[in-house]
C-alpha cells in the first residue's frame, strides 16, 4: 500500500496568500508535516482529523534532522495516507525539497509539487516595489546566506552579487550579512547601495527597514532579532 505526498507551498505566512490548490490538499490530508513558518492560521485549513506533525527548522533552535523528516514522509505514505508536506514560501526555493523528493522516489512513492508565493515576492509587494525594472533591474537573483553548517557559503560568485543591474534577494541572511557585505564592498559594491530588511513578511508583526548596505551591516553586527527575515538590495530597494 502506498499513499501520495503533496508538497504544498504555504507562502510567507499570510493564509490569504495560499493557493486554492494548497487549501484543497490541506483539507483532504490525513497527515500534515509542517514547517514552523507554516503553522498558526494556515493550519486552520487542514483536515480536522489529520495528524499534524511539526518538522520545522529554525536557526539557533533544536530542529529535526533532514533524514528524519524524509523518513517520516516515507513512513506516513507507506500507510496509504494522503500526506501534505507543508513548506513555507515556495517549496522549491531553499526548502531542501529535492532531498525529500529523492527519499520518496527511492521507495516508489508518488508525489506532486504545488508552488506558492515566495517571501521575496511578498516582501517586494509589502514594500510597494517591483523586483525588476526596465533598463535598471534586468534580472533577479536569489541567494542563500548560509551553508549547511550555518556559515557564509565560501563559493558565492561575488561579482554577480555586485551587479548594479540586478535585484538580489538574500534568504536566511542575517547572521552572515556583515561578513558578506564586507566581501561585496571589496568586490566593488557601493557602501550606500540601497537595502531592505523585511522581517515576518506578510504577518501582522511584519517590519520593513529601508537602509543602505553599510548601515544594515553595522546594525546586524550589533543585534539580530529572532524574527525570520530576508534582505533585498539593489537600486529598487530604495523606491518609496
Task: Please tell me which residue in 14, 87, 90, 172 is annotated as part of the active site.
Answer: 172
| Matching residue, cell 517571501 | 119
Task: Please tell me which residue in 35, 90, 174, 213 is annotated as part of the active site.
Answer: 35
Task: Please tell me which residue in 57, 78, 163, 183 is annotated as part of the active site.
Answer: 57
Query: Is 172 marked active-site?
Result: yes
Query: Is 35 marked active-site?
Result: yes
Query: Is 57 marked active-site?
Result: yes
Name the residues annotated as catalytic: 35, 57, 172
Amino acid at each position: 500500500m502506498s499513499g501520495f505526498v503533496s508538497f504544498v507551498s504555504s507562502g510567507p505566512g499570510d493564509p490569504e496568500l495560499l493557493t486554492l490548490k494548497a487549501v484543497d490538499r490541506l483539507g483532504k490530508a490525513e497527515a500534515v508535516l509542517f514547517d514552523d513558518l507554516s503553522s498558526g492560521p494556515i493550519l486552520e485549513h487542514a483536515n480536522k482529523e489529520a495528524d499534524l506533525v511539526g518538522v520545522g527548522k529554525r536557526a539557533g533552535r533544536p530542529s529535526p534532522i533532514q533524514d528524519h523528516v524524509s523518513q517520516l514522509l516515507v513512513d506516513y505514505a507507506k500507510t496509504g495516507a494522503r500526506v501534505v508536506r507543508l513548506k513555507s514560501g515556495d517549496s522549491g526555493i531553499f526548502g531542501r525539497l529535492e532531498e525529500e523528493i529523492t527519499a520518496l522516489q527511492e521507495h516508489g512513492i508518488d508525489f506532486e509539487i504545488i508552488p506558492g508565493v515566495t517571501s521575496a515576492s511578498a516582501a517586494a509587494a509589502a514594500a510597494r516595489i517591483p523586483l525588476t525594472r526596465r533598463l535598471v533591474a534586468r534580472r533577479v537573483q536569489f541567494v542563500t546566506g548560509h551553508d549547511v553548517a550555518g556559515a557564509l557559503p565560501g563559493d558565492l560568485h561575488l561579482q554577480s552579487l555586485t551587479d548594479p543591474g540586478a535585484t538580489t534577494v538574500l534568504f536566511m541572511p542575517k547572521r552572515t550579512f556583515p561578513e558578506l557585505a564586507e566581501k561585496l564592498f571589496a568586490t566593488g559594491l557601493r557602501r550606500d547601495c540601497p537595502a531592505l530588511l523585511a522581517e515576518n513578511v506578510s504577518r501582522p508583526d511584519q517590519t520593513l527597514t529601508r537602509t543602505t548596505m553599510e548601515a544594515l551591516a553595522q546594525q546586524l553586527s550589533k543585534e539580530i532579532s529572532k524574527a525570520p527575515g530576508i534582505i533585498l538590495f539593489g537600486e529598487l530597494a530604495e523606491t518609496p
